[in-house]
Structure 1
């Protein structure tokens, strides 16, 4: 699964990288983004291939849901079933989005406990995770935009850490993901190439969502990591 990430791209950088309009405010770099918080999202805008930067709450609330508490269980959707499951299928067909991130975290089970790793693309300031979104209307009348991240089987680099990874959408496929037909979008739900990614062990402080700061991305000394996973 993907349950924590870093997002340090300023709004102007997100607009440039994703060729989007719109804004995300108030903004500050975040190194420990957790579910049930507001995050920047790129969604389709209009019929002419436009893209809009906006804010959504991480944790999907389907439009038909009566209780918003369902969001706590819908932070991720599996690529294998996202097009069929009732909670996700409408959003997958009509409301796909891109979630800009700088890196994400995953935990590896070890004899000494769970060791977190930071994971990102090599030589890239940020990348896009495939998402789906929904607009849910509260009984009081407020409309809440919510989002869910899609995961797939881990690639060869990440499989020793965890058996799942987020679906990463290459820039060349951004338009297809946002605007293309459902059948074409399904072909993008595959592991990202391992040779274009890197992973390294980080402090267990990232396990507490109250902890913040760029130090959470710092690499632990090599003696505490598996050599095959150090880039």
Structure 2
């Protein structure tokens, strides 16, 4: 599962790293990104733009927005089995920009939050899916996204039984966005990231609340 993450690099650094420009005023750094927030994403239909999109997928076929389930994650192994996800895998893929994520390890003393990032501390992209929901009363189009998860690597396995898909390099990111790449090749990209290029550490329980959205949540726990 992936239920919280960070996007702390300045806008200019994200634009340079992902070879795209913000389509609107960029959001400030986010130290505790949570579902329902609008967060930076690159859509396969517009790979040169970074857009702020709401986290929590609302499929276009949903009629009642209030009753929509809004999944924040989608399992890589079952994308092809679920018609709604299978269609999005073919037509609506996204890069979800980040530089770390949080996961909670179950222990005898309660759940302990960990921050997981690349050893280089560079930004990366989760593999995501997106869709648009049309408000038939107002005509407003509301894009949303979900993050794809996979089995854990050796770094993550002691912490949790799932991890988000971190695309390994720029070539994989471009392939994920490329409509000319077939569904089978897209599916092959959804693998656990190499553990030796990642690191993790325990952080304060402050991160448990999305209200705490400042650099203090990044500090290693005492």
Bin of the TM-score, shorter chain as denominator length = over 0.9
Which 5+ residue runs of structure 2 have no aligned equivalent? Answer: none
Distance 1:70 1:172 in 2: 38
1:156 aligned partner:
154
Matched, 1:68 2:65: yes
Q: Bigger shift: 205-214 or 82-91?
A: 82-91
Specify whether residues 162 and 69 from structure 1 end up closer, same or farther in structure 2 by C-alpha distance, changes over 3 A only. farther
C-alpha displacement of 1:111: 0.8
RMSD over aligned CA atoms reads 1.5
Which 5+ residue runs of structure 1 have no aligned equivalent? Answer: 222-231
1:89 aligned partner:
86
Q: Bigger shift: 189-198 or 63-72?
A: 63-72
1:229 aligned partner:
none
1:196 aligned partner:
197
C-alpha displacement of 1:109: 0.3
CA deviation string 1:81-136 (max 9, x = no partner)? 12331332211111111011011000000111000000001113211000010011
Distance 2:205 2:186 in 1: 36
8 Å Cα contact 2:11-2:26 kept in structure 1: no
1:168 aligned partner:
166
TM-score (norm 2): 0.93
Q: Bigger shift: 19-28 or 126-135?
A: 19-28
2:17 aligned partner:
17
Q: Bigger shift: 23-32 or 73-82?
A: 23-32
8 Å Cα contact 1:44-1:51 kept in structure 2: no
Matched, 1:131 2:131: no
**The residue matched to 1:81 in structure 2 has which SS?**
helix
**The residue matched to 1:162 in structure 2 has which SS?**
coil
Distance 1:98 1:150 in 2: 10
C-alpha displacement of 1:45: 4.0
Specify whether residues 165 and 69 from structure 1 end up closer, same or farther in structure 2 by C-alpha distance, changes over 3 A only. farther
**The residue matched to 1:31 in structure 2 has which SS?**
strand
8 Å Cα contact 2:101-2:116 kept in structure 1: yes
Distance 1:156 1:144 in 2: 37
Q: State the 4+ residue runs in structure 1 displaced beyond 6 angstroms.
A: none
Distance 1:130 1:69 in 2: 26
8 Å Cα contact 2:31-2:217 kept in structure 1: yes
Distance 1:69 1:84 in 2: 25
Specify whether residues 9 and 70 from structure 1 end up closer, same or farther in structure 2 by C-alpha distance, changes over 3 A only. farther
Specify whether residues 196 and 208 from structure 1 end up closer, same or farther in structure 2 by C-alpha distance, changes over 3 A only. same
